[in-house]
């Protein structure tokens, strides 16, 4: 079995395990409403999601948005707090 397939299977297993907890926390404790989910779930893979902020919680929220059974895995995240060029930090 190649490495990419192992990574994908690991991502699917962790998505399946964590999604119910994330759903409970977001819908029962915090009452988070997600709008625009259809744009992400209908996108063809691979795709890039770019947010305008850096947050530890983004990876968990994207798992919640994608749902328990998704073909969009594995997810990868990259974030920076400050760019080398000042104009990019505006």
pTM of this prediction? 0.58
Instruction: Answer whether the bond into residue 74 is a cis peptide, omega within 30°.
Output: yes
Confidence of residue 56 (pLDDT cuts 50, 70, 90): low
Closest by CA position to 67, among listed 13, 15, 9, 4: 15
The tokens for 35 are: 């709008």
The tokens for 27 are: 């819908």
Alpha-carbon distance 42 to 81, whole Å?
Answer: 30
Residues in the chain: 90
pLDDT at 55 over 70: no
Model confidence pLDDT, tens digit, residues 14-47: 888 888 888 888 888 888 888 888 888 788 877 7
């Amino acid at each position: 079995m190649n490495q990419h397939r192992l990574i994908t299977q690991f991502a699917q297993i962790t998505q399946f395990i964590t999604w119910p907890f994330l759903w409970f926390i977001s819908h029962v404790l915090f009452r988070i409403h997600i709008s625009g989910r259809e744009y992400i779930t209908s996108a063809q893979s691979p795709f890039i999601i770019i947010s305008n902020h850096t947050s530890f919680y983004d990876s968990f929220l994207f798992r919640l948005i994608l749902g328990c059974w998704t073909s969009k895995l594995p997810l990868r995240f990259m974030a920076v707090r400050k760019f080398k060029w000042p104009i990019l930090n505006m």
